[in-house]
């Protein structure tokens, strides 16, 4: 058995909750988590990687359970002080979270790669799964709206995802290379899991990196995705609204359609059991189960279902 026999493509909060169940079902050492960095941002001169941090903090047991992002019992005194200077404070960086961004920025400036720094942060927080960025190169998600093109966090946090989305672009993707070890892990994995994340702004950037989609296509039978859309609504965030903005139906089957070239198995919620047939018509095996992770028990159930669907043992 390969050491990293499961690869997970991950966005932020929804993915982190699922992965938190998965590491209780399989040894975390078997898991390589490939995180989206399209929504990375520079704030106050610091490099912030929200999705990598959300996953790392969640697996370290230190994430804020209500917000889903940032650290639990966090304070925001530094941000308050910055506000007094007139610095922008709409992106809420907590005091303890700031240490992560200070460390990352310092290490990147010293010549470390984002993958190296991410590994160092995860190790320091005693996370046993391996977390890597999709690429060490700079890829930035840009949201095209009727009033112009927006940097991702400006669209998502500052403007609260209110704008109509005309297009999602991944600046820098054409020249970006996958982080070291990602493609070979995909080639060897017994299961490649597309977490229940937004297909446009969380999984989309990962797929935009050169070789990534093709590597997945070649392993289609081993790729399983969990629908982030349940009963026509997103489990978290603006996915459903985005699908409608982009003139699609916001349904689980329509997410499956977006993934049809590289996904062999697709998990839909019980409430969407009627969509299973439409998924199967795409040549994708459909699994129907409860996907709403309302608590630890539900997370475990979903993780077990995914592992069993891929014929793997716990």
What are 26's two structure tokens? 């399989």
Q: Which H/E stretch holds residue 48?
A: strand 46-48
Minimal CA–CA distance to 17: which of 50, 54, 53?
Answer: 54
- Report in angstroms how near the CB of residue 101 gets to ligand FO1 at its nearest: 8
Judged by the rule CB under 6 A, the positions of this chain that interact with ligand FO1 are 11-13, 39, 48, 50-51, 53-54, 69-70, 91-93, 97, 153, 156-157
Per-residue tokens: 29? 């050492």
Choose between 155 and 259: whose C-beta lies nearer to ligand FO1.
155
Taking CB positions, which residue lies at the least distance from ligand FO1? 12
Q: Contact 222/192 with Cβ under 8 angstroms?
A: yes
**CA triplet 6, 312, 37: central angle to 5 degrees?**
20
* Closer CB to ligand FO1, 95 or 280, in the complex: 95
Judged by beta carbon, residue 13 or residue 284, the one nearer ligand FO1 is 13
Measured from the CB atom, the residue of 69 and 262 that comes closer to ligand FO1 is 69
In angstroms, what is the minimal distance from the CB of 86 to ligand FO1?
18
Whole-angstrom CA distances from 14 to 208, 235, 254 are 20, 7, 19
CB of 227 to ligand FO1, least distance (A): 17
Nearer to ligand FO1, 93 or 194 (CB): 93
Which of 76-106 are b and which e, b meaning 16 or more Cβ less than 10 Å from the residue's Cβ? bebbeebeeeeeebebebbebbbebbebbbe
Give me the least distance between CB of 149 and ligand FO1, in Å please.
17
> Least Å distance between CB 160 and ligand FO1?
8
């Amino acid at each position: 058995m390969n050491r990293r026999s499961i690869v997970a493509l991950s966005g932020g909060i929804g993915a982190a909750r699922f992965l938190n169940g998965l590491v209780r079902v399989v040894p975390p050492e078997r898991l390589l988590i490939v995180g989206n960095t399209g929504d990375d941002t520079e704030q106050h001169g610091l490099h912030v990687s929200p999705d990598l941090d959300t996953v790392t903090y969640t697996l370290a047991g230190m994430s804020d359970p209500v917000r889903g992002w940032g650290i639990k019992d966090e304070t925001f005194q530094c941000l308050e002080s910055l506000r007094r200077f007139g610095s922008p404070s709409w992106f809420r960086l907590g005091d303890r979270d700031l240490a992560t961004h200070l460390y990352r920025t310092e290490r990147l400036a010293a010549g470390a790669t984002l993958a190296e720094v991410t590994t160092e942060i995860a190790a320091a927080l005693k996370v046993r799964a391996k977390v890597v960025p999709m690429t060490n190169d700079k890829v930035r998600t840009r949201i095209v709206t009727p009033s112009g093109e927006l940097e991702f966090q400006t669209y998502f946090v500052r403007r609260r995802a209110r704008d109509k989305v005309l297009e999602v672009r991944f600046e820098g993707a054409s020249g970006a290379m996958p982080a070291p070890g990602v493609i070979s892990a995909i080639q060897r994995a017994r299961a490649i899991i597309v977490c229940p994340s937004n297909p446009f702004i969380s999984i989309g950037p990962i797929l935009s990196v050169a070789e990534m989609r093709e590597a997945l296509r070649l392993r289609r039978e081993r790729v399983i995705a969990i629908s982030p859309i349940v009963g026509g609504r997103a489990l978290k965030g603006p996915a459903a609204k985005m699908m409608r903005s982009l003139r699609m139906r916001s349904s689980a089957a329509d997410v499956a359609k977006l993934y049809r070239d590289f996904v062999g198995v697709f998990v839909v919620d019980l409430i969407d059991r009627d969509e299973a047939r439409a998924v199967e018509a795409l040549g994708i095996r459909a699994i129907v189960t409860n996907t709403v992770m309302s608590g630890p028990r539900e997370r475990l159930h979903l993780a077990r279902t995914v592992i069993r669907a891929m014929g793997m043992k716990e």
